[in-house]
Amino acid sequence: MALDLTDFIAGLPKVELHVHHVGSAAPQTVARLAERYAGDTSVPADPALLAEYFTFTDFAHFIKVYLSVVDLIRDAEDVATLTYDIGAGLAAQSVRYAEVTLSPYSHITRGIPAEAYCEAVEDARRRAARDHGVELRWCFDIPGPPPWMTAADVTLDVALKQRPDGLISFGLGGPEAGVSREQFAGHFAAARAAGLHSVPHAGESTGPQTVWDAVRHLGAERIGHGIAAARDPELMAHLREHDIALEVCPTSNVCTRSVPSLAEHPLPALVAAGVPVTINSDDPPMFSTTLNREYQVAADLLGLDERGVAGLARQAVRYSFLDDAGKSAILAEIDAYVAGSGWVQALTDQN
């Protein structure tokens, strides 16, 4: 029997722990919004031109393009439509649960009231669960670029005062270079005191020190990206010993020029050092990828067969912020899928 890993991954129950809200807008959605706001945006309204528009020269250019797409989300209806479509798209990839990174500040400053924003994402979350069987949860993220402290203050205020039912974590995104993690220590302390998990970005476009700072000053429980840890054996040992997982997004790292190529991606070094990792898609349409494709990329980089890929899916579940019952249900579903799909028997027959 010729095993098709692509088909196996497509049907494998999965969770997604690092995917951005606006960054998940499908090309058709982006084009429709660009047409709606034609004359007041640099984003092309032709879906065929978006691939070129989403070709990034460096991380700073990626941020610039990303913010131009953020600017297309101008009312609560846009927010709800985008969010629901994200849920439907994830469900189509056999994703059962996703922690989606939202940046409410970016939309509040563009005129959407905080309460309306939170109501829109919650409405979409409930409808996606009802219609597609996918559970969405939120990470409220401090976005860049400046004014950083204003963004941090507003993000924390919305998180604590609105506290939508789906909110489970607090994050930090945007450019890393020249942006001290320590300056956000108070915001993360307040979020953690309110019961939110800490999941800042760090060590994507900068070095290992940013990861150290996220752990020491922000109480990071997982690290968004964190691939620079591969340059620091002491840091890798710390992540391993303290069970702090990295949310690795291979294709994203290449597209933002944080890594020269997939062949040079540090994922194998991180895994070899025992650092816990999860596989994620980040801003999939912008990087012409999907979560399923990222699992294929990871399988190629790590030399994994179906058992190994299923192991990655299980690991993502374990490092999610689902409750124990939720984790057990998805893990059981993964085990049933592997046992019932014939892959295990086929592998046994080959050996």
DSSP letters, 32-67, are HHHHHTTTS-SS-S-HHHHHHHT--SSHHHHHHHHH
Mean pLDDT of the chain: 93
Q: Model confidence over 62-74: pLDDT tens digits? A: 888 888 988 899 9
Which neighbouring-strand residues pair with 246? 223, 277
Mean pLDDT over residues 319-344, rounded?
Answer: 91
Q: At what angle do helices 306-318 and 324-340 cross, to 10 degrees?
A: 170
Strands 245-248 and 222-225: parallel
Question: Which range is least confidently modeled, 110-124, 161-175, 335-349?
Answer: 335-349
Helix (H, G, I), strand (E, B) or coil at 247: strand
What pLDDT score does 347 carry? 46
Helix (H, G, I), strand (E, B) or coil at 225: strand
What pLDDT score does 63 carry? 85
**Contact criterion met (CB below 8 Å) for 248 and 302:** no
122 has pLDDT over 60:
yes
What pLDDT score does 30 carry? 86
Query: The tokens of 101 are what?
Result: 């990174």
> Nearest CA to 252 among 72, 87, 16?
16
Which neighbouring-strand residues pair with 169? 139, 197
Mean pLDDT over residues 76-91, rounded?
Answer: 94
Query: The tokens of 152 are what?
Result: 């941090």
Active site residue 204: yes
110 has pLDDT over 80:
yes
Percentage of the chain beyond pLDDT 70 is 96
What pLDDT score does 33 carry? 87
What pLDDT score does 158 carry? 98
Angle in degrees, CA 295, 139, 156, rounded to 5: 155
Domains and CATH numbers, the chain: 5-350 (3.20.20.140)
What pLDDT score does 346 carry? 47
Distance CA 351, CA 347 (A): 6
Distance CA 200, CA 203 (A): 10
348 has pLDDT over 80:
no
In 10 A of CB 280, how many CB atoms?
27
The single residue of 122, 135, 176, 204 carrying the catalytic annotation is 204
**Contact criterion met (CB below 8 Å) for 273 and 243:** no
**Contact criterion met (CB below 8 Å) for 248 and 277:** yes
**Contact criterion met (CB below 8 Å) for 162 and 115:** yes
Query: The tokens of 45 are what?
Result: 């309204």
What pLDDT score does 29 carry? 84
Helix (H, G, I), strand (E, B) or coil at 144: coil
Distance CA 228, CA 208 (A): 5
> Nearest CA to 312 among 329, 299, 293?
299
Distance CA 180, CA 50 (A): 33
**Contact criterion met (CB below 8 Å) for 229 and 203:** yes
Mean pLDDT over residues 82-90, rounded?
Answer: 95
Residues 6+ apart with CB under 8 A from 325: none
pTM for this prediction:
0.92
> Nearest CA to 258 among 52, 57, 51, 21?
57
251 has pLDDT over 80:
yes
